[in-house]
Structure 1
């Protein structure tokens, strides 16, 4: 598979949200919330954006305390993590403010425990440096954040990641697979994956392998008939390609 980042409709909505935050009216409202079910491509989109924006990307840990978070952030910023929490905070505040470094916090639900103590610390950085903070989580994160008005009032944009459309899947197949994938098989990948990009990627890898091994100019439904290209983790069984079922 080609190592290319595909700009799906979720990416386009996220990019529009970023632009809106960057052009916000209230300087202190510099936070953005991204949420959605697993497999819809949140982490991949945010990881790629973090690289392009030279942002710090951290995955929140359930064991995080404000001090633990500060130390992890210091490591990511290559800042001396020694000293008191106040000294550490001020040291990083100067770096973030001077360089205008955005922060991305994945699995942000973990920052809500203990009355959102960690998220309050993250908010402090956003308020005092006016830099963007992107919080990434599951569907229920909105409910959790809504319990803390001092934080929710700082969120300028909310972006939901939804299932990939057929057009998204077709574009992904075209850009990533080294062997062309026929429209009927693209539709089958979309159907089986239910728009979960994680499963789409796995299916493309499988289909591409069939095409390369057999020297095919294009892989269609007939070429993978009876084969498993995705896996139903809930039912704990592979999903088999069947032209009859697809019809």
Structure 2
């Protein structure tokens, strides 16, 4: 399979939201976005794709994060090669973002959504650097962020990632699978088995392609697939 990002509805919606965000930043209007949804719906994949396309900065939050560790990792992503005081790291971050204009992508935001000091600092970074910020997390993120109205009021785009549908899985098969053509009936079976989870669909497509390749099948349908498993069995 290709190492690429398929242009599913979620990815296209995220890209469109980012375009609006970039324009908003130029006009000094609110330019913070949230990408939210259940696990496996492609939030991180879409964020990583946009991060590369926009030449942005990506930082992943950790469960153990404090304000200090969050600032330290973000500073390192921006090129700071030594530890510093929190105030100095914040000054460095704001300066680098303001000068470069790079958008900031913050993944796994649920880990820091209960920490008001981190959220307030993200708001400070946004206000002082004036660059787009994209917060990526699970379904409860908007509710948690809403408790800090000063940050929540700056959010102008919110994409709620949805489970895959038949169009999405067809797009994924077309853009990612290279060695065989997967018939619509087998794609529908995989969609049902995965419950629309993009991560599991990717696993299933890879499994189908490997099977078809090992059996020299230029195409494969649901009858040829038989009773095989799309995903590794868990005992």
- Is this a same-fold pair by TM over 0.5? yes
Which segment is superposed worse, 223-232 or 212-221?
223-232
Quick check: 2:114–2:144 contact (8 Å CA) kept in 1?
Answer: no
CA RMSD, 1 decimal: 1.7
Residues 1-247 of structure 1: matches in 2 within 5 Å?
Answer: 1-24=1-24, 27=28, 29-114=30-115, 116-177=116-177, 178-230=179-231
Quick check: 1:64–1:118 contact (8 Å CA) kept in 2?
Answer: no
Deviation readout 1:218-238 (Å, 9 max, x if unpaired): 011112101001368xxx57x
Secondary structure in structure 2 of the residue aligned to 1:113? coil
Secondary structure in structure 1 of the residue aligned to 2:6? coil
Q: Where does structure 1 lack aligned partners over 5 or more consecutive residues?
A: 238-247
Between the two proteins, the alignment pairs up a number of residues equal to 233
Quick check: 1:40–1:162 contact (8 Å CA) kept in 2?
Answer: yes
Change (3 A) 1:109 1:141: same
**Partners in 1 of 2:184 and 2:84 — Cα distance?**
60
- With structure 1 as the length reference, what TM-score do the two structures score? 0.89
**Partners in 2 of 1:63 and 1:120 — Cα distance?**
18
Q: Where does structure 2 lack aligned partners over 5 or more consecutive residues?
A: none
- Deviation beyond 6 Å, 4+ runs, structure 1: none
**Partners in 1 of 2:67 and 2:31 — Cα distance?**
20
Deviation at residue 28 of structure 1 after TM alignment: 5.7
- With structure 2 as the length reference, what TM-score do the two structures score? 0.94
Deviation at residue 84 of structure 1 after TM alignment: 2.1
